[in-house]
Structure 1
Amino acid sequence: MKPGPRNALTDVPGVRVGHAQRVGHGYRTGTTVILPPGDGAVAGVDVRGAAPGTRETELLDPRNLVERVHAVVLTGGSAFGLSAACGVMDRLADAGKGFPVEGGVVPIVPSAVIYDLGRGGAFRATPAAELGAAAFDAATGEEARSGSLGAGTGAVAGGLAGGAGTASAVLDTGATVAALAVVNAAGSVLDPAGAVLAGTRYGLPGEFEHLRPPSAREAAAWQPAKVTSFNTTIGVVATDVTLSKAQCGKLAGVAHDGLARAIRPAHTMVDGDTVFGLSTGTHPAPSGTELQDVLAAAADVFSRAVAHAMLAATGRPDAPAYLDVFPSALRARP
């Protein structure tokens, strides 16, 4: 395998990503919107954390009516932040995109939140419909950034600054599998035997060659001052391979394997870990063997996306960046 041209979720043809954030005046939070091409994408979901904050996930059960979604919203603000999806719904409805009903359309916008309340100083400084609309307006098929932006703006992972990260893989068939992860974990993103970012173990050739194991001194010195008690890692894994609704749910489920490889422990009582699976359906349906390759890639791209989120995050006084704590891990600038 090799990464796509951007090594990002937007390597899946037609998928757009937009971020909007607010920092200052009590805020440190944001929203990320994923927009599929055309009339939407077939979607599934897998919720494994014990404290999820979600919207419209029941619709993604293969037994239920709706087959396609028109956007996915990942956002800060805990349950308050779910209102960001209203701004995205308004934008889609104004464009005539949604599930057709008598008199108009109802956009289907499943959403998930992280817990970042109070990280900018004000507990109720959370995303609202306006921030969701701003993320929608910012969406582009060129977006490939990772770091403390969008839904990852106020994220913390194991005492380090968290964020949003993305990665992709192109399979031998020409199909693309890609992920976007918002890393805000109660668990550690570090390998217990030396403070290497666990997600980097699944990198493609050359992807993380600018890194090396941190010095033993730096690894021994790292003692997180405070690990938050409410967290959640959320994300999307997408492919252009034609999948059914049930297969999209399996795609999301296998991406959780990648989450658990990169974060330890995962799926705890204080995490709401949720992953959405999307299929744009522009590449032929897979054979049995090809489906296994798609699923295996989903786990790996999610692990890599977690690592990119941590490497690109911006440190702050209460949550230093990984490379601030372990500067010896940087062999050379990427």
Structure 2
Amino acid sequence: MRTGPTNSLVDVAGLRVGHAQRVGGGHLTGTTVVLPPPAGAVAGVDVRGAAPGTRETELLDPRNLVERVHAVVLTGGSAYGLGAACGVMERLADDGIGYPVAGGVVPIVPADVIFDLGRGGVFRAVPDATLGTAAYDAAGPSPAALPEKTATPDGGEALQGTAPSGGIVTVDGGGIGVPGGRAFTQRTASPTASGSIGAGTGALAGGLAGGVGTASTVLPDGTTVAALAVANPAGSVLDPADGTLAGARYGLPGEFGHLHTPTRQEVDAWNPVMAPSFNTTIGVVATDLTLTKAQCGKLAAVAHDGLARAIRPAHTMTDGDTIFGLATCATHAPGHDVFQDVLAAAADAFARAVAHAVLTATGREDAPAYLDVFPSAQGGGS
């Protein structure tokens, strides 16, 4: 097996990914949207955490009517952040994409959230419909330009502005209320990017900075399986024996070859304060095969095995761990043996995506980056 060309979710042909985030002015949060082709993708879901925040997941039960979804939204903001899906739904409707009904279409947009409230300083500085539209626009081949845009290191665009107290700043044709007139920065990121972007902007991972991570696998028969994870767990992402990233052990040849085992001194010195908190790791696994809703549900379920390999403990009472399974149906329906291989690859890909999320996250005062804590892991470790 090998990674796809970008080692990301967009290696599944037809999938697009958009990230938008706000930092400053009390914000440290964002939204990520996964868009299938206009006809949608067959979808399933598996919820394992005890504190999920979801939208439209009941539709994905194989017993229910709708077969395909037109977007999946992953977002910060806890339950408040579910409003970001409304912006994505509006964009889809404007584009004529959705489940056909008399008089128009109804876009099917399942969503899930992580808990990042207050991590930027203002409790209700959360994603809204406008941020959802920004993430949707960023997923296109030519992301919608924002006014006064500047290049950013992650390949996206940035907008800066200040709103008067209680006022509105116009961004990409929409309005954003900024608490107390504080300055903010709104940015988008490349569809293949990882780190402190999109829904993972304010993520924490067992005391370290968390974020968005992504990975892909091409099976010997050419089938592609890929994952995108928003790593924000209460549990640890480290191997307790040696401080390595637990998910990295499932890497494909060369993927994590640049990493070393941290020195014992660094491992012994790492003792984060693990105060009780709300967290949640969420994500998407996808393939280009033709699957049923039930098979997509199984795909999502087995991806949770990868989550549990990369995070310890997983699925706790304060995590809302949820994974969506998508099939674009671009190729044939798999036989039993191929589907077994797809399930195994999905679990490993999700574990790898969690590792990439933590490895590429940007450290901050309350959450250092992995390589800030374990600098010897990038060379010369024992």
> For the superposition of Structure 1 and Structure 2, which TM-score range results when normalised by the shorter chain?
over 0.9
- Give me the CA root mean square deviation: 0.9
Q: Which of 203, 206, 218 is the matching residue for 1:155?
A: 203
Aligned mates of 2:216, 2:254 — CA distance in 1:
14
Amino acid at match of 2:73: V
- Counterpart in 2 of 1:44? 44
Aligned mates of 2:192, 2:371 — CA distance in 1:
20
Q: Which of 339, 346, 359 is the matching residue for 1:298?
A: 346
Q: Which of 275, 291, 296 is the matching residue for 1:243?
A: 291
CA contact (8 A) 1:159 1:228 kept: no
Q: Which of 214, 230, 234 is the matching residue for 1:166?
A: 214
Aligned mates of 1:51, 1:143 — CA distance in 2:
28
- 1:162-201 mapped onto 2 (5 Å cutoff): 162-201=210-249
Deviation at 1:90, TM superposition (A): 0.2
Q: Which runs of 5+ in 1 are unaligned?
A: none
Amino acid at match of 2:314: A
Instruction: Give SS of 2:306's match.
Output: helix
Aligned mates of 2:264, 2:274 — CA distance in 1:
22
Deviation at 1:225, TM superposition (A): 2.8
- Counterpart in 2 of 1:145? 193
Aligned mates of 1:86, 1:199 — CA distance in 2:
33
- Counterpart in 2 of 1:272? 320
Aligned mates of 1:21, 1:28 — CA distance in 2:
8
**Which structure has the larger Rg?**
2
Amino acid at match of 2:133: A
CA contact (8 A) 2:19 2:191 kept: no
Aligned mates of 1:61, 1:256 — CA distance in 2:
18
- Counterpart in 2 of 1:135? 135
Q: Which of 287, 307, 311 is the matching residue for 1:263?
A: 311
Aligned mates of 1:331, 1:140 — CA distance in 2:
37
Deviation at 1:144, TM superposition (A): 1.1
- Counterpart in 2 of 1:87? 87
- Counterpart in 2 of 1:309? 357
Deviation at 1:37, TM superposition (A): 1.2
TM-score by length of 2: 0.86
Percent identity of paired positions between Structure 1 and Structure 2: 75
Aligned mates of 1:62, 1:123 — CA distance in 2:
37
Deviation at 1:184, TM superposition (A): 0.3
Amino acid at match of 1:323: L
1:203 aligns with 2:282: no
Q: Deviations over 1:35-73 (max 9, x none)?
A: 001310000000000000000000000000000000000
CA contact (8 A) 1:159 1:227 kept: no
Amino acid at match of 2:61: D
1:105 aligns with 2:105: yes
Deviation at 1:331, TM superposition (A): 2.0
Report the count of equivalent residues.
332
- Counterpart in 1 of 2:7? 7
Deviation at 1:140, TM superposition (A): 4.1
Aligned mates of 2:20, 2:338 — CA distance in 1:
36
Q: Deviations over 1:91-122 (max 9, x none)?
A: 00001100111111100000000000000000
Amino acid at match of 1:288: H
Aligned mates of 1:224, 1:110 — CA distance in 2:
34
Q: Which runs of 5+ in 2 are unaligned?
A: 142-189
CA contact (8 A) 1:186 1:227 kept: no
TM-score by length of 1: 0.98
1:59 aligns with 2:59: yes
Amino acid at match of 2:334: P
Cα 1:261–1:192 change in 2 (3 A) is: same
Aligned mates of 2:242, 2:275 — CA distance in 1:
19
CA contact (8 A) 1:249 1:276 kept: yes
Aligned mates of 2:220, 2:337 — CA distance in 1:
12
- 1:65-80 mapped onto 2 (5 Å cutoff): 65-80=65-80
Amino acid at match of 2:89: M
